[in-house]
Structure formats: C-alpha cells, structure tokens
Structure 1
Amino acid sequence: METRKVQEVGGGTYTVSLPKEWAESEGVAAGSTVDLHAHIDGLLVIQARDREDGPTDPVRVPVCGEDPDWVEQALRAAYAAGTDAVAFESPEGVADEQRRRIEQVARNLAGATVAEASGARIVVRTPLDPSEVSVSQSVRQLSFVALSMHRDATAALTGEGAPEPADRDRQADRLCGLVERHVERALGRLDEVDALGLTRPELFALWGTARELERVADHAERIRATVAAIDEPAGPTLCEDFADLAEAARRVVDDATTAAAGDHDVDAAREALSRRDDVRERARELDRRLLASEADGRYLRVLDRLRRTAEHGGNVAERALRTAVRRGDLAEASGFDPDEAVDAPADSPADAGG
C-alpha cells in the first residue's frame, strides 16, 4: 500500500497523484481518461478505460478417465468460486456418465445451464445478474426450507406422520450454494458488492448464517433417517417432551434468522440466545432420563440433533449481535443515550464508598 497526500486545486477540487508503476502498466498517461467508482463500503476505485469486464472465456477443466465424481467436484468448485463459465474438455471425448453427471449437477445449481455440448467439450454457464439477486431473501428462504424439513422429521418422531422429504435437501444445498457464490465473487469484484447492495461485512454475516442453516437442514435429514430405523415408538410423555424441545429449537433458529437476515431485531437475537440456553438445560435433563430408562438408544442421537439445532441457531444470533454492534443498534435497542451518559456527573470516590 502506498500513501498519497490529497491536495486542493482551483475551484475546490481535490486531487491525488497516481502511482507511476500502476499508470504505466495500465497504459495511463497525461491526458488519459480513467473511470472512478465509489462503492457503498467506502472505497473509491480508479479503473483505466478499456479494462472493463466483458464476456469471459470459460475456465478450462481437462477431463481424464471416466470418473464422474471429479467433474462434479470441479463444477461445484467453479460455481462456488463465482466463475461465469466452465468448460470440460477431453480429446478422447467426455464419457456418457460424466456428461450425465455434469447435466444433473448443473440443474441443481441456481442459474447454471449447459450452454454447449459436443463430444469433446461441455460448457456450463451461470449468467446470473447480481442486481436481481437478494442474498438476504435467499437466506430467509433457506431458513424456511430447513425448518420445514426439521418440522416434518420431528413430526415422524412423535407419530404424526412421516411426510416425504421430496427434494428439499437439494433445495437447501442450492440456496446455500447461491449465497456462497455471490459472497465469493464479492471478495474479488467490487461491482458485485454494489450490485448486491450489501457491504462485505453484511455479506459475510449472511454467508455464515447460510452455513448454519445448511447444518440445520442436515440435522433434519439425519433425524428423519434415525426415526425411520426405530421400531418401537416412544411413549406419550417422551413424545411430548421431544415435540416441545424440537419446537423450542426451531424457535431459536427462527428468531436468530429474523435478527440476522430480516430487520436486524436485537431483541430477537437476545431472545434466541435465551431460548438456546433453555434448550441446553432441557436437553441435559431429558438425556439423564433417557439414560436411566430402557428407551431405544437411538433416541439419544435424535436428542443430540435437537440440541445441536439450537446451537446453530445460537451461532446465528451471535452473528446478528456482532452486526448490531457495527451498526450501533445495541444502544438504540436498549434506549441508552451515550450523550446523556457523557454529560451525567460521575460519582466521587467518597460517594461510591458510601
């Protein structure tokens, strides 16, 4: 990093000199025109003309052998990295199983499409316009999907039916992948930050929230699988305890997501953390009861999933509080006036000692 002193010229205009090495490397000389981009996170970027982003060539991925797992891993990595296009190429031709895997994965990635397909080359493009993407809305939708999965999984546990999960697990992965993609792009592209309408700290907080919600969805899937393997249903009292605890865990996640991706409600974040602590205590008590009983040991696994669901919600709430600190919302939520605190006379040592 170099430091330059800002100077004022006639008419009240501020000027700053450009580093010579940068100017020469970008073809900028006296009389050249440059573009200035002011970004919402306080950055001012200087860009030489004729260096603006245009259509990019696909990232080339050589395909060797016939392993379909490799092409799936490469495609998911390219999507998450924020690339606009990726081309899978093989002189011997892309194998049929690899081709099917690429098409299947592309269908499950938001905005991705197979734009070109020949014997030796398959191109997947993601022509998403970031100005039409709402990261906050995607996180809220992910929360809805994850909690819906969780509600159905615990309904099966309490004998209220076992709805088919359909493709909601894939939908959760799809939404989380979309958030991750735009956060990755925002790390290297300032125009992405502006188009999304969020600062980098806000994007990072939403990415962290999405990761926690993805884990909530994973716990729901594992609860469903565990319950399906239990032959003997739980008794009425145990069913009621599990139902209440599952509902409390979901409330933690719901309140926390409201604070992190909704209206930044500090009270909702505090309530989520309080509920998280309550779930911890109730889970410990239920754990002791299960260990002392003859209930199927797999109920302990389900209990652990419920506890961890609440923990993930607590993590989201803690992120929301950190965001509130940066925004200065904590003082407003408490009604604290820092100006009054500064003006108020401090107690003398004698007064403090009684």
Structure 2
Amino acid sequence: MIKTNILNNKLLLISKLEKIIYTKTISVYLMETRKIQVTGKSTYIMTLPKKWATRSNLYAGSQVKLNLQDNGALLITPNSISEEKGKKILHLNGDIQRFKRDLIATYILGNHDIVEVRSDHIPKETYNEVVDFCHDFVGLEIIDSNETCLIIQDLLDGDEFTLEKGLQRMFAITSTMIDDLAYALKVNDRDTIEYVIIRNTDTDRMHMLISKQFIDRLRLNKISDYDHLNLIQAFYYRLAGDQIKHIAQHTAKIASYIMRKPIDKEKLTIINKFLIQSNSYLRRSYEAFKYINKEEANNILKEYNEQIDTIDHLHEEGIPINIPLDSIKRINAYAANLSELTIDLSQL
C-alpha cells in the first residue's frame, strides 16, 4: 500500500533527521547553566564558557552570530567557523556509474562547491557523458577540463532558491506534463507525448535540488533569509517532493506506454478523461498542502476512494488498458498522500 510506504519514508527520514541533528549539527560536550543578568532597563547579558571562548579564538571585541531556532533555543556561532565550501576530489577510472553515484551524493550533501574529477585518461566519449550528466543537476557546470582532469562547479545560489520555490516549480512541471499528455491524446499529437517523457528529467532535477536544500536546512548555523519554513515544515516539504516526483514518473510511464502500444480512440478518450480528473485532484491537493487547508485535504481524501472505485470498475469490465489505468490510480494515490501530509502539518 502506498500509504504504508509514505509512513515508512516518514520514519526513515525522522531517524536520519534526529541522527544528523543530535550527532552532527549540535555537538554538546558539556551542558552548562548560566544566569541571566540585566544591565540598565532592557539589556540582558550572560557570560560565555571560557573553554569554548578560548577554543573559538574569541577575545574582547570579537563578533558572534546569533540564530534563533524553531524550539526557542539560541545558537551562537563564532565567526571563526568558516561557511566557505571546499573542494571535493572524485576519481573516474573506468567505472562511470560509480562516479555518477558519488557526484549525486556530493551534490545533495552540499559540502563542496568545487568538484575535481581525476583520471589517468578521460576519453572524449566519457567526457561527453559527464557533460550530459551534469545537465541533470541544477547549477552544476564544467568550468575547466583536460585529458586527466575535469573541474565541476556548483553555481547555484542556494540562499535564494528555497524549498518552497523548489516544490512550487516541481509541481508546476508535473501538472503541465499531465495537461500536455491529456491534450496530446485528444488531438493525437505524438510529438507532445514524446516531450512529456523528456520533461520527466526536469522533475528529477528539481527533486535532487529539493533534497539538497533540505540537507542545507538541517545546518542550523546556515539559515537563508529567504527561508520561512521551520525544520519540521522543511521535512514535510521534502516528503511532498517525493510524492510529486512519483506522479511525474507515472505520467511519463503512461506516455511511454502509448508511444509503444497502439490504442484505439475510444480507450484514449477514457485515459484523457481520467488524466484531467487526476490533474484537478493534484492541483487541489497541492494548494491544500501549500496553505495547510485541513478541511480541503479531508474532502480530497473522501473523494479519493470514489475515484479508485470508478477505475476498478473499468478493470472488472476487462478494458485492456490496465497499465495506464494503474498509473492513474497511483497518481491519485500520491496526490492523496499530499493531503495526508497537509493534515499532519495542520497539527503544528
């Protein structure tokens, strides 16, 4: 069941979230208590631990950064902690798939803005494959190369491109894919059907970017002025990205099936009708999620079972378009998951 899968995804991400926060992001060596003192009428002051101040190279006149956390805690960061990203070295010696996995991980974790790719020799075919692969990422560009080395730079301004913008863009692409596919089936436009398949790569790019932004959001000492989500909301936006990604994948799956299999006009009309309904369902679910509209989310979930019953009835009649109909059922199910996430968020 898809509902079970999303629950498992929640538990897995929660586990990772807790591990990152408690073992990496906030390193607590010793819990100390300090008394707040008041000077004048409105100035609150507090002494800082001497060992910490010495280790952080603080002295009279030093500046520190203060970040208010979602739970009311105050994070104090010395300026001596650099936010500059370093260089990552990856090796490319024959195993291109391993290199691709390493590059994905490096991109999502976001600890480096320069990746140096080293090899004994980089053939032209391999170079072209790496160039094409970099196009699958938002912001990655090859800025220098020779026969044994490639320099890849992450040019994205992550401060301005927030999780909210990423999810909005991902939704817009996916909804347009469904719209275009429904229209193409109506007028028998195979070029547009092919374009729908190609656009699925755009949602993959945005999904990786959302994953990258979520990891960046976990770094409590690096919060963008443009980011208005608290940590829990960011977690749910990351989950919502998964649902929209799956919807785009099933839309592309329907398009691929239609390109391979001849389907008569009557059956295409049925698929067209359900795609229009599914896109309306997706749009309503996304809007409910965006504005945390609990009532609308509950209405959508109530309608979900009725839509599934209608599709199941067609299965029982033996209409031979099971693969497109199964994908439409999953599109509706993932849209319903968005409504489930909305209800979760409404409890904050």
- Structure 1 length normalisation: TM-score? 0.79
Given the alignment of the two structures, is residue 246 of structure 1 paired with residue 275 of structure 2, yes or no? yes
Partner residue of 2:261 out of 230, 234, 238: 230
Given the alignment of the two structures, is residue 306 of structure 1 paired with residue 328 of structure 2, yes or no? yes
Partner residue of 2:57 out of 27, 31, 39: 27
Query: For residues 51 and 100 of structure 1, what CA distance do their matches in structure 2 show?
Result: 38
Aligned counterpart, 1:100:
128
Partner residue of 1:212 out of 243, 254, 264: 243
How far 1:316 moved relative to its partner?
1.0
Query: For residues 81 and 154 of structure 1, what CA distance do their matches in structure 2 show?
Result: 37
Query: For residues 7 and 228 of structure 1, what CA distance do their matches in structure 2 show?
Result: 70
Query: For residues 320 and 228 of structure 1, what CA distance do their matches in structure 2 show?
Result: 36
Query: 1:189–1:126: structure 2 CA closer, same or farther, 3 Å change rule?
Result: farther
Mapping 1:259-274, distance limit 5 Å: 259-261=288-290, 263-274=291-302
Verify the 8 A CA contact 2:67 2:76 in the aligned structure 1.
no
> Could you say what secondary structure the match of 2:346 adopts?
helix
Moved beyond 6 Å, runs of 4+: none
One-letter identity of the residue aligned with 2:157: D
Verify the 8 A CA contact 2:66 2:76 in the aligned structure 1.
yes
Query: 1:180–1:268: structure 2 CA closer, same or farther, 3 Å change rule?
Result: same
How far 1:37 moved relative to its partner?
1.7
Verify the 8 A CA contact 1:81 1:185 in the aligned structure 2.
yes
Aligned counterpart, 1:255:
284
Aligned counterpart, 1:190:
221
Query: For residues 123 and 303 of structure 2, what CA distance do their matches in structure 1 show?
Result: 52
Kindly provide the CA deviation profile for residues 182-220 of structure 1, in whole angstroms up to 9, marking residues without a partner as x.
111111253234443322222222221111111111001
How far 1:159 moved relative to its partner?
6.4
Aligned counterpart, 2:179:
151
Query: For residues 52 and 77 of structure 2, what CA distance do their matches in structure 1 show?
Result: 11
Partner residue of 1:126 out of 148, 154, 158: 154
Query: 1:155–1:189: structure 2 CA closer, same or farther, 3 Å change rule?
Result: same
Partner residue of 1:180 out of 200, 206, 211: 211
Worse-superposed segment, 315-324 or 189-198 = 189-198
Structure with the bigger RCO (C-alpha within 8 Å, sep 6+) is: 2
Look at both structures and tell me which one has the larger radius of gyration over its CA atoms. Answer: 1
Kindly provide the CA deviation profile for residues 107-127 of structure 1, in whole angstroms up to 9, marking residues without a partner as x.
231122112223322121113
Verify the 8 A CA contact 2:57 2:80 in the aligned structure 1.
no
Verify the 8 A CA contact 1:255 1:271 in the aligned structure 2.
no
Query: 1:301–1:102: structure 2 CA closer, same or farther, 3 Å change rule?
Result: same
How far 1:60 moved relative to its partner?
1.1
Aligned counterpart, 1:49:
79
- Structure 2 length normalisation: TM-score? 0.80
> Could you say what secondary structure the match of 1:175 adopts?
helix
